[in-house]
Amino acid sequence: MSGPSLKKTESHSSIHEAALNEAIELRNLYQKCLEDGEHEKALQVAEIAIEHWETRTLKHAEAEEEGLYKEMVEEKPALEKLVNQLTRDHDLMRRIVEDMKERLQTQKADYRMISLFDSLVIIDEIHNEDEMNKLLTNNET
């Protein structure tokens, strides 16, 4: 994702929304598989969901850190603290995704995975709000 479109609240926000909606659908599907006792299918869904977080939200985060965040701080050094906080949110999501990948290695589909999916969703929702309301709003160039 290139820099300019991430600077626009509308296009940036739609990237967030699309990824989050898909992530929530996969989380719900995982829960349904568990409830239906479909262990194998649950594992497959968890694998797809984790890959989804990696290829969408975490890739997006990487692009922000390499482009948008750097540019914003260069333009407005006062944004450095906020950018550090937003980067910490990315790190938390990375840590949770790593934890999930390790859990998947054990080939055990359990309810703890749902808590981890929910943690990702909650952190991402708060993070996206802050990107929109604190980083981009009033700072668009």
Q: Which residues bind Fe ion (CB under 5 A)?
A: 61, 64, 131
CA 134 from centroid of its chain's CA atoms: 18
Nearer to Fe ion, 5 or 28 (CB): 5
Q: From the CB of 67, what's the least distance to Fe ion, in Å?
A: 11
Torsion, Cα 24 27 29 34, to 10 degrees, reads -160
- Residues in the chain, overall count: 141
- The dihedrals phi and psi of 140, each to the nearest 5 degrees, come to -70, 140
Nearer to Fe ion, 20 or 104 (CB): 20
The one-letter amino acid code at 67 reads: G
Q: From the CB of 40, what's the least distance to Fe ion, in Å?
A: 34
Q: From the CB of 104, what's the least distance to Fe ion, in Å?
A: 24
Nearer to Fe ion, 40 or 125 (CB): 125
